[in-house]
Amino acid sequence: MSNTIQHQPVIILTHPHNDKDVLKKGLVKSGLEVITDVMIETDAIALSEAEKKVIFSCRRIILTSKRGVEYLFTQLRPAEILDKSFICIGKKTAMALERKGIKPWWVSHGKTASDLVNELRHARFQKNEKWIALLGDLAEDTLEEGLSRLCDFQRINIYRTTLVKQSSDETVRRLQKRDKVLVVCTSPSCFHGYINNYSNHIHPGIQFASIGPVTTKAMFAKGIEPMIEANRSTYEGLLLALKSKLTPIYR
């Protein structure tokens, strides 16, 4: 291992992932030490009969993540909503939908809700169309604020996010040793979970990396400025930012 790698910080990943995760694989392949300390869990929110009726009566359905796709189709069969036009944020959400046998009507080029709103403002459709967005309960009101003037918009929460209220012995050990640590957060929830569990162990050697503006905003609200923010709010974008900035900073 080179001297540069030896002086790199320990990377703490706070998001749910597996060994195929792009971010984890890329960091490990770069020779960085990566430990896992997942700060959030998600589970489905059961659709009420009234919410199902809204879904059946709408014209278009907005899906913002792979989780949204997964939790929708654990409760409804694709055949029940084949007549809907699906709008997806990002290619990965679209790919998850296509694996269910449904081709999306619109796939945003951007990766955030703000990107989608900006793109749809230039689209042509009837303003009285009934649209719904299937979101996580902690998602901001970006879509509602941006689309309510363009269509008959309604939000339905399809899954909930809970913060893990348990510290990791390995993370505590690293913090107590005052090792250089870079905490990588892919959502405000991951960041809040970390702060809640380890606020008593914060020291100057701890830095944070953010996947994008929404997560960075949560960090600034706690008086923390991230050392790294991805230019693109994707795992690939965050990986690129980490790989490009870690070496010169920690030489």
Domain harbouring 198, CATH code: 3.40.50.10090
Q: What share of the chain in percent tops pLDDT 70?
A: 95
Distances in whole angstroms, Cα of residue 244 to Cα of each of 91, 181, 229, 231: 24, 17, 11, 12
pLDDT confidence tier of residue 123, bands split at 50, 70 and 90: confident
Same domain flag for 132 and 195? no
Co-location of 225 and 239 in the same domain? yes
Q: What pTM does this model have?
A: 0.85
Q: Give the DSSP letter string of 157-174.
A: EEEEEEE-----HHHHHH
Q: Are residues 235 and 182 part of one domain?
A: yes
Residue ending a domain, among 109, 133, 162, is 162
Burial of 222 (0-12, 13-18, 19+ CB in 10 A): exposed
Q: Cα separations (Å) of 173 from 11, 44, 181, 225?
A: 14, 34, 11, 24
- Residue numbers of the domain that contains 141: 42-162
Burial of 19 (0-12, 13-18, 19+ CB in 10 A): exposed
Q: In this structure, are residues 90 and 236 in contact, taking their beta carbons and an 8 Å threshold?
A: no
Average pLDDT over residues 159-176: 94
Task: Report the pLDDT averaged over residues 196-205.
Answer: 90
Q: Band the pLDDT of 125: cuts 50, 70, 90.
A: confident
204 shares a domain with 130: no
Verify that 123 and 230 share a domain, yes or no: no
Return d(Cα 4, Cα 156) in angstroms, integer.
Answer: 48
Return the pLDDT at 6: 44
User: Are residues 141 and 230 part of one domain?
Assistant: no
pLDDT band at 179 (very low <50, low <70, confident <90, very high): confident
Q: Between these two residues, 245 and 11, which has the higher pLDDT value? A: 11
Q: Does residue 121 have a pLDDT over 90?
A: no
Same domain, 151 and 236: no
Closest-CA residue to 11 (of 28, 201, 2)? 28
More confident residue, 83 or 2: 83
Of 127, 145, 162, which one is at a domain's C-terminal end? 162
> 130 is written with which tokens?
């009934």
Contact (CB, 8 A) for 102 and 69: no
Give yes or no: residues 112 and 201 share one domain: no
Residues 93 and 48 both lie in one domain: yes
Residues 51 and 123 both lie in one domain: yes
User: At residue 4, does pLDDT exceed 60?
Assistant: no
Q: Are residues 202 and 244 in the same domain?
A: yes
> Which two three-digit tokens encode residue 48?
């009420």
Q: How confident is the model at residue 222 (pLDDT cuts 50, 70, 90)?
A: very high
Are 29 and 91 contained in the same domain? no
Structurally, the chain folds into a number of domains equal to 2
Q: Are the C-beta atoms of 209 and 185 separated by less than 8 Å?
A: yes
Domain C-terminal end among 162, 197, 221: 162
C-alpha–C-alpha distance, residues 149 and 153, integer Å = 8
pLDDT on residue 3: 34
Mean pLDDT, rounded, of the chain = 91
